[in-house]
Structure 1
């Protein structure tokens, strides 16, 4: 049964690989469109990281001035939110090969 299932999956992958390709001009146009929209999305991610950092800094400063103890979790939460947005740009750039 396992052999039959393995053979069937292998056959399906060969059929899927044998699909007709896209013409070179269309592929180049799609890559260009993706790169144009990606860089605007990358700039947007950096802008969001900046906003997360600024808002987090103001909220933490306010809590600190109000005398609240244990602001460590808020510092970590805002820091890692901004850090995630900064790292999402290079990750997406590597994922799409742009």
Structure 2
């Protein structure tokens, strides 16, 4: 009975060691896949920022032509959101070293 328990423990230890090595390989593979998509994601964030900027510019122009008083507030909020997207994409790209 003790020999069987020792054999089961040894097999369990070997399987745990093998699983740990596969886990490291899986984490490295996932890291490489995320890094490969990072440039595409950054470019997508820049494109979204450009579209938001165009929509914001149209809304601000319309408010300005209508003579509304909160045009400056709306312009600064749209401009700030575009700057935020560009800064976040740039910081993430430099932070992760991609």
Task: State the TM-score, normalizing by the size of structure 2.
Answer: 0.67
Runs of 4+ in 1 over 2 A off after TM superposition: 19-23, 29-32
The correspondence of residues 19-98 of structure 1 with structure 2, limited to 5 A, is 22-23=24-25, 27=28, 29-98=29-98
Whole-angstrom CA distance in 1 between matches of 2:92 and 2:76? 24
Query: TM-score, length-normalised on structure 1?
Result: 0.67
Paired position in structure 2 for 1:3: none
The runs of 5 or more residues in structure 2 that have no matched partner are: 1-19
Higher-RCO chain (CA-CA 8 Å, sequence separation at least 6): 2
- List runs of 5+ in structure 1 lacking aligned partners: 1-18
**Which structure has greater helix proportion?**
2
RMSD: 2.3
In the alignment, the residues of structure 2 paired with residue 91 and residue 30 of structure 1 have an alpha-carbon distance, to the nearest angstrom, of: 21
Query: Across the two proteins, how many residue pairs are aligned to each other?
Result: 78
